[in-house]
């Protein structure tokens, strides 16, 4: 087990945002956290890396490889975030400074984490870009010169650059069209198979859950209402809320099916 969340609650002065949440993630699995907007999914992901806003307080335990991340000091968190736990965010454009090249972003990210040789950093960056289907010319480009799909691929390459053990992907396809979203998730799946990392995949899209997840949990109003093997939950949901979400999920369009079958 790589991550164990035990009786986690997150509160503001006004309300409970997470209420007694418990989850366990195994090494190498793709675990989907599903729920509608406002259910608390992103707050949970932020709590894992101590990235909560100052007005929120957390109680409980988050054990990552035996360490409780809620009790770690800033220096220890710096060691873990990026190297051991990486984030891929929905707002991938906000992760890049517009007037710095992609190469400069990769250089700085590695330098912060102790890779001191500039040539090595460049070689690592180019290899990472190529691994997500972007050639060397993208190293010198600026973020605004990339399409949404290309920039999201770049954010995946950057997040996985240091071979983290846990990757938290928070609604990473929301701003993309369905075909680009599928291609991005294929890239992420290939990188997972290559590195053996665990993925916590936060989404409201059941189509992606069906295709990629091994196990899943359903969140409603800050609580886990159902969890288990993907096939069991999809074919025999127990909670009424899960049944409603599955029933309301859109079906694949013809263009999406063509991509999945390799036609496009």
More confident residue, 5 or 81: 5
Average pLDDT, integer, range 94-112: 92
Alpha helices (H) in the chain, listed in sequence order: 41-48, 74-80, 102-112, 118-131, 148-159, 178-195, 206-212, 230-235, 240-248, 254-260
Element of type H or E holding 236 = none
Q: What tokens appear for 50 in the block?
A: 């101590």
Residue-wise pLDDT for 21-71, tens only, equals 999 999 999 999 999 988 999 999 999 999 998 999 999 999 999 889 999
Quote the radius of gyration of the chain (alpha carbons, Å). Answer: 19
Residue with tokens 């700085």: 108
Q: For domain 3-84+164-260, which CATH number applies: 3.40.50.300, 3.30.200.210, 3.90.1300.10, 3.40.50.1820?
A: 3.40.50.300
User: Which of 52-66, 90-104, 208-222, 228-242 is predicted least confidently?
Assistant: 90-104
pLDDT of residue 261: 41
pLDDT of residue 73: 86
Average pLDDT, integer, range 192-197: 92
Alpha helices (H) in 166-214, listed in sequence order: 178-195, 206-212
pLDDT of residue 3: 96
Residue-wise pLDDT for 153-164, tens only, equals 899 899 989 989
Residue-wise pLDDT for 239-261, tens only, equals 999 999 999 887 645 444 444 44
Residue-wise pLDDT for 138-149, tens only, equals 999 999 999 988
Average pLDDT, integer, range 109-122: 93
Residue in 84, 107, 248 with CA at minimum distance from that of residue 164: 84
Domain segments of the chain as ranges: 3-84+164-260
């Amino acid at each position: 087990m790589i991550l164990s969340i035990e009786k986690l609650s997150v509160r503001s002065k006004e309300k409970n945002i997470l209420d007694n949440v418990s989850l366990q993630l195994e090494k190498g699995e793709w675990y989907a956290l599903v729920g509608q907007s406002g259910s608390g999914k992103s707050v949970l992901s932020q709590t894992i890396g101590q990235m909560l806003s100052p007005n929120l307080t957390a109680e409980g335990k988050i054990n990552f490889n035996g360490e409780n991340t809620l009790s770690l000091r800033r220096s220890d968190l710096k060691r873990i975030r990026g190297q051991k736990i990486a984030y891929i965010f929905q707002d991938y454009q906000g992760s890049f400074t517009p007037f710095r090249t992609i190469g400069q972003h990769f250089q700085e990210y590695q330098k912060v984490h102790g890779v001191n040789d500039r040539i090595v950093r460049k070689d690592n960056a180019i290899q990472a870009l190529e691994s997500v289907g972007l050639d060397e010319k993208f190293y010198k480009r600026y973020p605004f010169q990339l399409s949404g799909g290309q920039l999201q691929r770049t954010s995946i390459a950057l997040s996985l650059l240091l071979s983290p053990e846990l990757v938290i992907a928070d609604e990473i396809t929301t701003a993309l069209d369905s075909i680009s979203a599928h291609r991005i998730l294929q890239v992420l799946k290939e990188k997972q198979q290559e590195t053996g990392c665990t993925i916590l995949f936060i989404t409201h899209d059941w189509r992606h859950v069906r295709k990629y997840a091994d196990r899943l949990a359903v969140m409603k109003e800050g609580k886990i209402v159902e969890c288990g093997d993907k096939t069991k939950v999809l074919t025999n949901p127990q909670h009424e809320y899960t049944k409603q979400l599955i029933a309301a999920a859109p079906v694949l369009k013809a263009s999406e099916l063509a991509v999945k079958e390799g036609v496009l």
